[in-house]
Structure 1
Amino acid sequence: MDTTSRTDGELTYRDATEADVEALVPLIESAYRGDSSRTGWTTEADILQGQRTDREGVRAVIATSGSRLLTVARDGVLVACCQLEHRGDAAYFGMFAVSPALQGAGLGKQIIAEAERTAKAEWGVSEMHMTVISVRDELIAFYERRGYRRTGRMTPFPYGDERFGVPQRNDLEFELLVKQLD
């Protein structure tokens, strides 16, 4: 795993380390859960309560072989992150979080492009995969505008496992979205 940093304009990208865990958990939580998430547009607060992740979950992504958690800083301040995991001919994109105060200004688009570039350059993959809660129409539309396509392939939401949150509705499932990187 390449842990050197790469600067692209005003953003600096580097792989997360154990020292980043304490800052990453609240960043991820703030983008999806609780009142702070309502500042941005990626909130899941109306469909899920409880946690989005925890220290152990973030540590697992950092420590797993073939996985990396890319951190994004602006002026030395952590503003976003995303998970990349090598899965054969594809890379999985997940744990994507942008500070709610910075959402809607194009930062997410830049980070997705960097994640795709990184996955293709480092692993030679031809596809990027992600899963999105199927009722998140606005979020899915955002990814479709980035070239991802819905596959109709669903996996169940882990009801009863509060590590993934406390569902506020009974129709949650994940849909696989795929983008060709060639």
Structure 2
Amino acid sequence: MDTAPASDAELTFRDATEADVPALVELIESAYRGDVSRTGWTTEADLLDGQRTDPEGVAVVVRSADSRMLAVEQDGELVACCQLEHRGTHAYFGMFAVRPRLQGGGLGKVIIAEAERSVRAGWGVREMHMTVISARDDLIAWYERRGYRRTGKMSPFPYGDERFGIPLRADLQFELLVKELD
């Protein structure tokens, strides 16, 4: 188990288990969908309705030999998570969620740094990839401040597949962001 300081309380990082799936789904949903997500700044509630993920999708990540779901606890409470997936020469970073009431206080910076350290040490990868909805200028700017660069490579939003949400706009697409890991 790795720990890192964050504000006044210590964070604990661990691999999520199947028992964590319901709490992880609730956390991810709270950070991106519905009224509770609006207390944080990562909400997608103006772009998408419906669900952000589901128990099956999170369980697949938890079970996969090539993935980890990093669970982050503070004082015994699940406060954040992220998906890390080994994809050959790089790692994929996804399902990043921080409790809305804790967003904006520096927790995300600590977690993404630990995720990057973890994939370098564990998988030996030198690059992290992620996809972000291209309309999320504020979120993309946050990642750019962490060293990620926009690639201009776009992939379509899965319109019609409600497992990923119900789009409220017709122009949604994902942009690939990449960071070289030192």
TM range (shorter): over 0.9
Counterpart of 2:86 in 1: which secondary structure?
A: strand
2:8 pairs with 1:7: no
Report the counterpart of residue 143 of structure 2 in structure 1. Answer: 143
In structure 1, the residue matched to 2:180 is 180
How many angstroms does 1:22 deviate by? Answer: 1.2
- Counterpart-to-counterpart distance in 2, 1:8 and 1:134: 31
Give the gaps of 5 or more residues in structure 2: none
Report 1:1-182 matches (<5 A).
5-9=1-5, 10-182=10-182
Gaps of 5+ in 1: none
Tell me the TM-score normalized by structure 2: 0.97
Secondary structure at the aligned position of 2:51 is classed as coil
- Structure 1 runs (4+) greater than 3 angstroms displaced: none
Alpha-carbon distance, 1:8 to partner: 1.5
What is the alpha-carbon root mean square deviation over aligned residues? 0.5
Query: How far is the alpha carbon of 1:6 from its aligned partner?
Result: 1.6
SS state of the match for residue 81, structure 2? strand
Aligned residue identity for 1:33: R
Which amino acid in 1 is paired with 2:112?
A: I
Give, in angstroms, the shift of residue 89 of structure 1: 1.2
Amino acid at match of 2:12: T
How many angstroms apart in 2 are the aligned matches of 1:66 and 1:103? 29
1:21-67: CA deviation from partner (whole Å, max 9, x where unpaired): 11111100000000000000000000000000000000000111210
CA distance, structure 2, for counterparts of residue 99 and residue 109 of structure 1: 14
Q: Secondary structure at the match of 2:53?
A: coil
TM-score, length-normalised on structure 1?
A: 0.97
CA deviations 1:149-181 (Å, max 9, x no partner) are 000000000000000000000000000000000
The one-letter amino acid paired with 2:35 is D
Aligned residues: 178
* AA matched with 1:70: L
The separation in 2 between residues aligned to 1:59 and 1:89, in whole angstroms, is 24
